[in-house]
Structure 1
Amino acid sequence: MLTNPFSPDFMERALIGGSLVAIICAIAGTWVVIRGMAFLGEAIGHGLLPGVAMATVLGFPVMLGAGASALLMTALLSALQRRGKLSYDTSIGLVFVGMLSVGIIVVSHSKSFATDATSMLFGDILAIGMSDLWTLTAALAVSLVIAKLFHRNFVAAAFDARIAQSLGLRPQLAQIMLVGLVALAITASFRAVGTLLVVGMLLAPVVAAKQWMVRIPALMVLGAVFGMLSVFGGLLISWYAQSAAGPSIACTAILLAGLSALLRRATRGFTRSAPAINELESAR
């Protein structure tokens, strides 16, 4: 029951691609959870719409259009932040609505966009090919390099930007690179779970891991493990229940986050009650 569904080549590629996505999302998602940047992830996820729509209409690779949208959105956010007249959330909101509006305009001018729009919004992980796997591998390598080179900058900026500035760690550059890291993760992941559900893969596995880990590298590793379990479980559910693969993976990730929180709460209650039980037995 656990291995037979992955006998077909397309299911095997989906499992490998989904696992790569899980690792990429764990790297970026750790910082999203620590910094409270869920709105940024949601905004970039929807901000991919114009690039993906244009690439689909013009016949270009979808990942190329998604990457172009992510780069444009990152550049716009960086430009608004340099001017310093708007709050970060306000800048994200303005850019997000603008990009989404342009995407909807492009979609409205396309006469046959229903199927493409469905896969774009909800993902089509079962259609992942070898070229997509190589693209995901390259995205994972870039994510690892960014996370390694800017780890100190990210940590310092997460706690106090002024201290980071005094230490010469350039918090503004760290913020730009962090937005780029999130954009890279979302661009790499939308093919698997779609632009509407990508934030689930970005947040849920890390939220599940955060119940057990405190150190950032360990949180990334355990988040990747939970993410891969979500992909494995979601694909199994999709196979046997004949449900959409992307939403099944996202729901599995959120379910694991809830189960992890419940299990952590139960173990805390057990460890707190154990000393009291020992005292009663010794009194007897």
Structure 2
Amino acid sequence: MGWLDWILDPLAYGFMWRGLLAALMVGVLCSVLGTYVILQGMAFFGDALAHAILPGVVIAYLAGWPLALGALVFGVITAVGIGALSHRGQIREDTAIGIIFAGSFALGVALLSTVRSYAVDLAHILFGDVLGVSPTDLWFTFGLGALVLLIVFALYKEILVLAFDPTLAVVLRLPATFLRYLMLVLIAVTIVVSLQTVGVALVLAMLVTPAAAAQLLTRRLPSMMAVAALIGAFSNVTGLYLSYYVNVASGPAMVLVATAIFLLAFTFAPRRGLLWQMARRRRALGTALSSQSS
């Protein structure tokens, strides 16, 4: 089989086309939002929020609503709740995240235990089912994803200042509280959009790993966002093809490709990579030894 056949043969199936488009959109969206997540140290928030929306999914399932709708409503409520608990500083943000994460996840598990067929009907929420994306799911992903990216790019400068210098944001009289809540809600929406592709258990990896790899390869935020989006899109598409040919789950395959790219960047990235730093230390040691001998 030639490389062109390797690429085109899976596209003869409609579910592969839809899965490919969904994987591309989610890869770009998660990676762009992920740059803000890692720059603001919000990885724990992303992980907690991904698990905290479980009650919304189960409630929607029990009520006969679209699962994504329940996840979206509960995700926004959870994000705003975390922001409200930690807003006045009486409770640290990581403490607020831990409280709401544990309580929400426990509620979700309790509700889940009442659903006898949950293993079949809700498994794709936990682990993703990109090959089961319907045309409605695709439009849902595209609509919410485009809205999130539009808001991010429209408020790029304001969010940039808030991420790197909150004090300057206050001096410039930016609506810091509003922007903070907005970022929490955007992360919640991004997680909900990604559920169909990688599921609750793996969505944090898609938020953090491509952005972390891009941080090792770039120095400016626009470049970091662009490189992260490319890594995310490439990881998802490659993982989808691997899942088709190797017969493994799509979500884990996508995450494994992104992790492999991160490890390559961590090892070989110019100036920041492990090998580069080892060579720099060796040169410094050689210079120090030569100066002592002379």
Output the TM-score relative to the length of structure 1.
0.90
Q: Which moved more, 1:205-214 or 1:8-17?
A: 205-214
Q: What do the CA deviations read for 1:100-154 (whole angstroms, capped 9, x no partner)?
A: 0111111011111111232111001101111111111111221122212332222
Q: 2:124 aligns with which of 119, 124, 133?
A: 119
Q: Which residue of 1 aligns with 2:258?
A: 253
Count of residue correspondences: 274
The equivalent of 1:143 in structure 2 is 148
Shift in CA distance, 270/104, structure 1 to aligned 2, threshold 3 Å: closer
Residues 14-52 of structure 1: per-residue CA shift (max 9 Å, x gap): 010010001110221010011111000001100110011
1:59 & 1:250 partners in 2: Cα distance?
A: 31
Task: Pick the aligned partner of 1:187 from 161, 186, 192.
Answer: 192
Alignment of 1:91-240 (within 5 A): 91-240=96-245
Identity %: 32
Supply the AA of the counterpart residue of 1:33.
I
Q: Is the 8 A contact 1:124 1:191 kept in 2?
A: yes
Matches of 1:139 and 1:154 in 2, distance apart? Answer: 19
Structure 1 gap ranges (5+): 276-284
Find the counterpart in structure 2 of residue 262 from structure 1: 267
Give the AA of the match of 2:155.
F
Matched residue SS, 1:196:
coil
**Per-residue deviation at 1:77?**
1.5
2:35 equivalent to 1:43: no
Displacement of 1:269: 7.2
RMSD: 2.0
**Matches of 2:31 and 2:56, distance apart in 1:** 24
Contact 1:125 1:191 in 2 (8 A): yes
Gaps of 5+ in 2: 1-5, 284-294
* Alpha-carbon distance in structure 1 between the residues aligned to 2:232 and 2:125: 21
1:9 paired residue number: 14
Inter-partner Cα distance in structure 2 for 1:159 and 1:225: 23
Answer yes or no: is the 8 Å Cα contact 2:80–2:184 preserved in 1.
no
Matches of 2:171 and 2:37, distance apart in 1: 24
- Quick one: which amino acid aligns to residue 72 of structure 2? G
Structure 2: how far apart are the matches of 1:194 and 1:262?
29
Offset at 1:58?
Answer: 2.0
Could you tell me how far apart the structure 2 residues matched to 1:135 and 1:112 are?
25
Q: Which range moved further: 210-219 or 12-21?
A: 210-219
Shift of 1:12: 1.1
Give the TM-score of the pair, scaled to structure 2. 0.88
1:167 and 1:130, CA in 2 relative to 1: closer, same or farther beyond 3 A? Answer: same
Taking the aligned partners of 1:56 and 1:247, their CA distance within structure 2 comes to 24
Q: Deviations over 1:176-213 (max 9, x none)?
A: 11111111110100110000100111111111212221
Partner AA of 1:77 in structure 2: I
SS at match of 1:211: helix
Where 2:207 maps in the other structure, the secondary structure is helix
2: CA distance, partners of 1:260 / 1:35:
21
Say yes or no: does 1:73 pair with 2:78.
yes
What residue in structure 1 maps to residue 92 of structure 2?
87
What SS does the aligned partner of 2:199 have? helix
